[in-house]
Homo-oligomer: A and B are copies of this chain.
Amino acid sequence: MSSSLHHIRIVLVEPAGALNVGSIARVMKNMGLTQLAIVNPQCEVLGEEATRMAVHAIDLLAAARIVPDLPTALAGCTRVIATTARDRAIPTQLETPRQALPWLVESAEPTALIFGREDSGLTNAELNYATRYIRIPVGSEYSSLNLAQAVGVCAYELQMCVTNPNDNLLTNLTPTSTPTDIAPVEVVEGYYQQLESLLLDIGYLLPHTAANRMEKIRRLYNRSQLSPNEVALLRGILRQVSWAVDTAKSIDPQ
């Protein structure tokens, strides 16, 4: 278990509430988190409302990385968790923050925790960048948590991993089958792109069904948390398949 949370990136996708963004900066700094990335913000990140709520965390807000899309925000990350309020769209069972977050803390490499839009959360495509999924437990009567509260609860659980690891016995039980050497998101993404393009080429995927099928394929590979060597091996196979198909194709039957 790492003794700091500096390697954990909090990623906000298109937040629209400046008060929320400011509150998030404050609670992050309260809980020892330092890395904030904001994908295409829909509000003023350093305006009056955000800085008023950030109080003594304006430095963290000013240092936030503003990026155009989610893959850019996740570059270099080996473990990615997404938060969601829905369970329909998710391939595997949803976990509580307490179950899933120690996995980010115990990593020695950059990791990320993604939060979606206030009104609509994350799209399916965005959810697919993650390998584990968190749903914060809520009561049955009113389930829609404020974005800053959701970040606050997760930030608290992360801080608990560092300061009170014995309060949560699960944190001492690292699943031993988890590979230690996990390829960063953009490396795995390179494989998916190459695979999709080959599958379109040989007619397995059709342009209008590709997204849905690729989602299923991504899920099964994401679950296994590929190492860089494994990605290289899988891409080697794809190259050989492409070569076999193209060589055959280039033989002119006439």
Please tell me if the beta carbons of B142 and A156 are within 8 angstroms of each other in the complex.
no
Please tell me if the beta carbons of B203 and A146 are within 8 angstroms of each other in the complex.
no
Q: A190 to nearest B CB, angstroms?
A: 16
| Known pairs A30-B138, A55-B144, A56-B142 / 17 extra A-B pairs, C-beta < 8 Å | A23-B149, A30-B143, A32-B139, A56-B144, A92-B177, A93-B180, A99-B167, A136-B156, A137-B156, A139-B159, A156-B156, A167-B170, A168-B170, A216-B230, A220-B230, A241-B245, A251-B251
- The listed residue with most B CB atoms (<10 A of its CB), out of A56, A142, A169, A252, is A142
**Integer count of this chain's copies in the complex:** 2
16 CB contacts below 8 A, A to B, read A32-B139, A92-B177, A92-B178, A137-B159, A138-B159, A167-B170, A168-B168, A175-B175, A199-B240, A203-B240, A204-B237, A216-B230, A216-B233, A244-B248, A245-B245, A245-B248
Given contacts A32-B139, A168-B168, contact A220 B224 (CB under 8 A): yes
The binding surface of chain A is classed by DSSP as: helix
Given contacts A98-B168, A240-B202, contact A177 B251 (CB under 8 A): no
Given contacts A176-B95, A223-B177, contact A204 B240 (CB under 8 A): yes
The 7 lowest CB-CB distance pairs between A and B, nearest first, are A248-B248, A32-B139, A224-B224, A202-B244, A204-B240, A223-B224, A29-B142
A31 nearest in chain B by CB position = B139
**Bitwise interface map of A from 12 to 30 toward B, beta carbon under 8 Å scored 1, else 0:** 0000000100010011011
**Bitwise interface map of A from 27 to 49 toward B, beta carbon under 8 Å scored 1, else 0:** 10111110000000000000000
